Amino acid sequence: MSAQKRFFLFAVCLIFSAWGLRAAGRSAKAADSPSGQVRAYVANNKAAILQEFAGLLSIPNLASDQENIRRNAARIVSMLQQRGVEARLLELPGAPPYVYGELRVPGATRTVAWYAHYDGQPVDPAQWATKPWTPVLRDGPLGEGEKEIPLAGATGPFGDEWRIFARSASDDKAPIMAMLAALDALRAAGGSPSVNLKFFFEGEEEAGSPHLQAAFEKYAGVLHADAWLLCDGPVHQSRRLQLYFGARGVTDAELTVYGSMRVLHSGHYGNWAPNPAMLLAHLLAGLRDPDGAIRIPGYYDDVRPLTAEENQALDAVPAVEPQLRAELGLDWTEGHGQSLSRLIAMPAINLRGIESGHVGAKTQNAIPTEATASLDFRLVPDQTPEKVRAKFEAYLREQGYFLVSEAPDAEARKTHPKIIRLRWGPGYPAGRTSLSLPFSRAVITAMEGASGTPVIKMPTLGGSVPMYLFQQMLKAPVIGLPIVNHDNNQHAANENLRLKNLWDGIEVFAVLFARLGHDWQ
Amino acid sequence: MSAQKRFFLFAVCLIFSAWGLRAAGRSAKAADSPSGQVRAYVANNKAAILQEFAGLLSIPNLASDQENIRRNAARIVSMLQQRGVEARLLELPGAPPYVYGELRVPGATRTVAWYAHYDGQPVDPAQWATKPWTPVLRDGPLGEGEKEIPLAGATGPFGDEWRIFARSASDDKAPIMAMLAALDALRAAGGSPSVNLKFFFEGEEEAGSPHLQAAFEKYAGVLHADAWLLCDGPVHQSRRLQLYFGARGVTDAELTVYGSMRVLHSGHYGNWAPNPAMLLAHLLAGLRDPDGAIRIPGYYDDVRPLTAEENQALDAVPAVEPQLRAELGLDWTEGHGQSLSRLIAMPAINLRGIESGHVGAKTQNAIPTEATASLDFRLVPDQTPEKVRAKFEAYLREQGYFLVSEAPDAEARKTHPKIIRLRWGPGYPAGRTSLSLPFSRAVITAMEGASGTPVIKMPTLGGSVPMYLFQQMLKAPVIGLPIVNHDNNQHAANENLRLKNLWDGIEVFAVLFARLGHDWQ
């Protein structure tokens, strides 16, 4: 640590202590620090926080489910208003409403805006141990002899390792709940925010945020802020808090390869009739090697090299690979031994799913008529969805395929020997914020000052959040601050939130509300 | 045609005519020939034949459905007995019963046995236009503006291109129905079989005939015959009758590749966590090229070359590829332009199905935990399932995989970087009968004599029927005689039988019953 940095932290501690003493003066029951007071508030109010959270989790939240997505938005508006936050819906035709809330703080000179999303990934109920939108409390992860604890009327004590299971328990309703509870906690501790607060909660993030750009255009004035904090994604696998200064961009595609128009007996036609599943396997195998390296010519041309500061930050990331390998049952990983944090700073193509014919009990001695694969592409600066799409399409054409957007009819089949139906989802590029901006330093200082431990600084998150839009459209720096556990089954069945992450999340939000205005030099 | 062959056919016609005159003498209404008389009988009894057939088709016939498979067997025994055939069940522990029937003909010196199977392929009811075991009559193939004709009480006239839809309408209850109606027709025409007849109907062919060898061992005496006719599979795509003198053998495998023990977010772990679907795509792509050529080292070593006679027969097979390509919507086929009949005389590996993660509406931004593929292997002489399995397993091991038969636990995952669960189904080798055997010539002669047109002689059928067992265990020559239409959706949804194929099938069986004893020189 440099001498300069030591002095900086010392100064910050002075400010923090002064604020702490002021807060303590207001409350007879005050603990030694605002952090301590917040922690005490949380400890005494876990049951009420969990009940309110369970209510929010019980509303189905697929972006495509218009009725229920609006019920979520209305509930969150009401939760904000109960805390004196001026809240309303920002509407855009065809989009789930954006929940907007504003809390002006007398004397505050800066405004910090907080992003989260209230929609969730699609669910496959058959894969869930209990219903996705019926929150269930268990005393540990699934499959480790865990017990279910009745949630209704639960009074505690609540184990730190207990988990609440529901779609979006982690991704991404947890930060919304934590921010609101942080306001309660801060006030109960006699404190108040040090910056003006704006809350902005999206309802179609898991659908690829197709209207976010338009929303930012329309509501640029309303959403003006000095900086943004994006509260999405998980903490580090070491369970330590992390900040992410960038996020990979994303686009996705579904491709279908066609064989015979009707299912054929594999004995009578096998070796002559094309097998679309086998053709697809060849296409996919040509796309990337088993280690993850992408084989599309020129695919890495647009990758911006990491800066020295980013490389340093990556070197300081704790090694979690041995723990993860044990936890996930992996004796082999992609990337030739490079660290997870370095690998997610690179472009990736992920095969999300593949389907053709039948396996298992439904297996037939037949040649399938079509084969479908679903891919997601993770982008880094300076890749763009447009460039990635062009390169992928060129690759498919080089393999001899004619690209269409609808299933080909008999006529189209006559003129093209090999046809792929290709459907692109929405997408957006990566974003990255410099680690050395004043706002970046303020957030780091506030968090490290309150916890006394270094925060992990990730130059980029592996997952995708549309950070680029905040930078490009709202002209503000943006940093990611996740609070949920990494082992949360996010995007899959049995999604869950570890309770300790909720309590810690409330605390970190309360600390940032209280300190950001002071630490921002 | 050689002079010798012309004389041979002339002699056959004489015998046939003599038999025809004798039959004609017995019936005042007799047509010019037994063929004609049979045809007349069929024309007058279509409604009754269809009603009896529909009754048989309405009994669900999965080999694994013990109760219903026995109902099928009992129904067929009763249908045989109604025709004076001595019929009973041959039992073997754990196997659906074999239906056996015997009709001794006074004066006959030879015995010909007839094989068919009464079980059907598994069904995916969601894919069927109507229920698989509710027979439905339509005036043409599906999807061509066809009308449904109420089957109950239908009196005709019945169009030749009409079809009856049900599981096993073609594969393989049609030959059973046709043989029984052929007996009726022959008797109505005043004729009688020229050979002793044995009927043997299996109930688990679509499950891979796992007990057939044991049945042949146990009932070798009962099943003794001078020759066998296997009535399974479709006629030629030109709609002309064909005989097949061999059939490809088969074995099948299901393989599962494993990734992380839990589903992972593709953004946070993509590029590091193994993607089992992608690993599987690489394995499959390495297995065979897009044109069908198998890449496993030494895979073709055991392939027995075709004889000159077999090559001649293949050269005489009508080209059906242009018609098939139009019908199936294929502008490209495997095998570098070789004919279908030549390609199915070679080994094939077919990818029956592949499944991992999700596509379509259920897509998730996740890395799947496992990926499964189902393969069938078609074998030719002198490949055996054992040799093929060994070569395939060696290929998987060369790719770095450890093979297990059950899903690996956490312990197994620690010691092996890449694991495949491999499950082999039952299997059997190919069979092939010489085209020049006296029985082979007798069957050809009878059929060509009755129809006046050359029959197509296929050295091998692409599909698999256990012909090798008849040769090896029962020491008898065996020839395949299929009657159903090629475009029958066999093994898939909406399986159907074209009515003309049923009427023609009855006729050809009646002719063979009547003539085989005379034509067998």
The packing angle between helices A3-26 and A34-57, to 10°, is 80
Coil vs helix vs strand at A70: helix
Report d(CA A396, CA A422) in Å as an integer. Answer: 10
Instruction: Report the share of chain A in percent with pLDDT over 70.
Output: 93
Residue B17 pLDDT: 34
Element (H, E) at A371: strand A370-379
Report d(CA A268, CA B462) in Å as an integer. Answer: 4
Residues of B in contact with A167 (CB under 8 A): none
Segment among B10-24, B103-117, B130-144, B485-499 with least mean pLDDT: B10-24
User: Is residue A46 predicted with pLDDT exceeding 70?
Assistant: yes
Only one residue has tokens 């004919």, namely B339
A459 touching chain B per CB within 8 A: no
A185 touching chain B per CB within 8 A: no
The verdict on residue A317 lying in a domain is no
The residue out of A424, A450, A485 marking a domain boundary is A424
User: Is residue B1 predicted with pLDDT exceeding 60?
Assistant: no
- Closest chain A residue by Cα to residue B367: A352
Same domain, B77 and B182: yes
Coil vs helix vs strand at B413: helix
DSSP B310-345: HHHHHHTSPP-HHHHHHHHT-S--SSTT--HHHHTT
Mean pLDDT of A387-392: 98
* Closest by Cα among A14, A16, A24, A114 to A450: A16
Residue B464 pLDDT: 85
Q: Which two structure tokens, joined as six digits, stand for A103?
A: 């809390």
Residue A444 pLDDT: 94
* Phi, psi (deg, nearest 5) at residue A424: -90, 140
* Closest by Cα among B363, B416, B367 to B260: B367
pLDDT tier at B30 (50, 70, 90 boundaries)? very low
Residue B95 pLDDT: 97
The domain that contains A385 carries what CATH number?
Answer: 3.30.70.360
Determine the residue type at A32: D
Q: What is the pLDDT of residues B298-355, one digit of tens each?
A: 999 999 999 999 999 999 999 999 999 999 999 999 999 999 999 999 999 999 999 9
Q: Which two structure tokens, joined as six digits, stand for A135?
A: 């929150």
Same domain, A136 and A270: no
Only one residue has tokens 């865990």, namely A146
* Phi, psi (deg, nearest 5) at residue A266: -70, -25
The verdict on residue B314 lying in a domain is no
Selecting from B271, B346, B356 the residue whose C-beta is nearest the C-beta of A344 gives B271
pLDDT tier at A119 (50, 70, 90 boundaries)? very high
Which spans in B262-305 are helix H? Answer: 266-269, 276-287
The verdict on residue A180 lying in a domain is yes
Q: Which two structure tokens, joined as six digits, stand for A74?
A: 């209305």
Residues of A in contact with B368 (CB under 8 A): 351-353
User: Is residue A274 predicted with pLDDT exceeding 90?
Assistant: yes
Mean pLDDT score of chain B = 91
Same domain, A47 and A158: yes
Residue A13 pLDDT: 31
Same domain, B102 and B194: yes
Mean pLDDT of A463-477: 90
The verdict on residue A515 lying in a domain is yes
Q: Tell which wins on pLDDT, A509 or B32.
A: A509
Contact A151, A137 (CB under 8 A): yes
User: Is residue A443 predicted with pLDDT exceeding 90?
Assistant: yes
**Are A122 and B363 inside 8 Å of each other by CB?**
yes
Residues of B in contact with A280 (CB under 8 A): 281
Segment among A8-17, A378-387, A482-491, B453-462 with least mean pLDDT: A8-17
Q: Mutation target for B interface from A271, A332, A396: give the one with most B CBs within 10 A.
A: A271
User: Is residue A306 predicted with pLDDT exceeding 70?
Assistant: yes
Report d(CA A256, CA A285) in Å as an integer. Answer: 15
**Are A265 and B358 inside 8 Å of each other by CB?**
no
Q: Mutation target for B interface from A350, A380, A414: give the one with most B CBs within 10 A.
A: A350
The sheet carrying A148-149 orders its strands as: A148-149, A136-138, A163-165, A496-498
User: Is residue A364 predicted with pLDDT exceeding 70?
Assistant: yes
Report d(CA A116, CA A205) in Å as an integer. Answer: 9
User: Is residue A26 predicted with pLDDT exceeding 70?
Assistant: no
Report d(CA A234, CA A263) in Å as an integer. Answer: 45
User: Is residue B7 predicted with pLDDT exceeding 50?
Assistant: no
Same domain, A138 and A150: yes
The verdict on residue A233 lying in a domain is yes
**Are A356 and B359 inside 8 Å of each other by CB?**
no
Segment among A91-100, A459-468, B15-24, B72-81 with least mean pLDDT: B15-24
Residue A34 pLDDT: 67
Mean pLDDT of A238-252: 94
User: Is residue A298 predicted with pLDDT exceeding 50?
Assistant: yes
Mean pLDDT of B396-418: 94
Coil vs helix vs strand at A426: coil
DSSP A427-484: -B--EE--TTSHHHHHHHHHHHHHHSSPPEEESSBSS---HHHHHHHS---EEE---B
DSSP B216: H
Task: Point out which residues pair with B521 in neighbouring strands.
Answer: none
ipTM over 0.90: no
**Are A360 and B367 inside 8 Å of each other by CB?**
no
Residue A332 to chain B, least CA–CA distance (Å): 5
* Phi, psi (deg, nearest 5) at residue A107: 85, -15
The verdict on residue B340 lying in a domain is no
Same domain, A483 and A494: yes
**Are A371 and B354 inside 8 Å of each other by CB?**
yes
- Closest chain B residue by Cα to residue A460: B268
* Closest by Cα among A126, A186, A151, A140 to A58: A151
Residues of B in contact with A334 (CB under 8 A): 271-275
A366 touching chain B per CB within 8 A: yes
Residues of A in contact with B401 (CB under 8 A): none
Q: How far is CA B114 from CA B230, B398, B512, in A?
A: 6, 45, 11
A486 touching chain B per CB within 8 A: yes
pLDDT tier at A52 (50, 70, 90 boundaries)? very high
Q: What is the pLDDT of residues B443-499, one digit of tens each?
A: 999 999 888 889 999 999 898 888 999 999 999 999 999 999 999 998 889 999 999
Number of separate domains in chain A: 2
Same domain, B199 and B222: yes
Mean pLDDT of B424-436: 92
B3 touching chain A per CB within 8 A: no
Q: Tell which wins on pLDDT, A207 or A135.
A: A135
**Are A272 and B234 inside 8 Å of each other by CB?**
no
The residue out of A367, A396, A424 marking a domain boundary is A424
pLDDT tier at B33 (50, 70, 90 boundaries)? low
- Closest chain B residue by Cα to residue A463: B267
Mean pLDDT of B50-77: 98
Task: State yes or no: cis peptide before B301, omega within 30 of 0.
Answer: no
Q: How far is CA A475 from CA A194, A216, A225, in A?
A: 22, 11, 9
The residue out of B390, B409, B424 marking a domain boundary is B424
Q: What is the pLDDT of residues B198-237, one digit of tens each?
A: 999 999 999 988 899 999 999 999 999 999 999 998 999 8
Residue A33 pLDDT: 65
**Are B292 and A271 inside 8 Å of each other by CB?**
yes
Q: Can you give the three-state secondary structure of A319-343, one letter per residue?
A: CCHHHHHHHHCCCCCCCCCCCHHHH
Angle at Cα B456 formed by Cα B140 and Cα B39, nearest 5°? 55
The verdict on residue B309 lying in a domain is no
Contact A366, A259 (CB under 8 A): no
User: Is residue B46 predicted with pLDDT exceeding 90?
Assistant: yes
**Are B292 and A286 inside 8 Å of each other by CB?**
no
The packing angle between helices A499-519 and A438-451, to 10°, is 130
Only one residue has tokens 């082992």, namely A487
Same domain, A238 and A264: no
DSSP B203: S
Mean pLDDT of B244-251: 94
Residue B358 to chain A, least CA–CA distance (Å): 4
Distant-in-sequence, close-in-space partners of B256: CB < 8 Å, separation ≥ 6: B370, B371, B372, B407, B420, B421
**Are B350 and A367 inside 8 Å of each other by CB?**
yes
Selecting from A279, A331, A351 the residue whose C-beta is nearest the C-beta of B413 gives A331
Same domain, B203 and B97: yes
Domain that includes residue B211, residue range: 3-247+431-519
Same domain, A407 and A459: no
**Are B267 and A464 inside 8 Å of each other by CB?**
yes
The domain that contains B183 carries what CATH number?
Answer: 3.40.630.10
Distant-in-sequence, close-in-space partners of A168: CB < 8 Å, separation ≥ 6: A57, A61, A118, A119, A120, A174, A495
The verdict on residue A316 lying in a domain is no
Same domain, A97 and A234: yes
Q: Can you give the three-state secondary structure of B94-132, one letter per residue?
A: CCCCEEEEEECCCCCCCEEEEEEECCECCCCHHHCCCCC
Residue A471 to chain B, least CA–CA distance (Å): 21
Residue B465 pLDDT: 82
Distant-in-sequence, close-in-space partners of B207: CB < 8 Å, separation ≥ 6: B63, B64, B119, B426
Same domain, B235 and B275: no
Task: State yes or no: cis peptide before A157, omega within 30 of 0.
Answer: yes
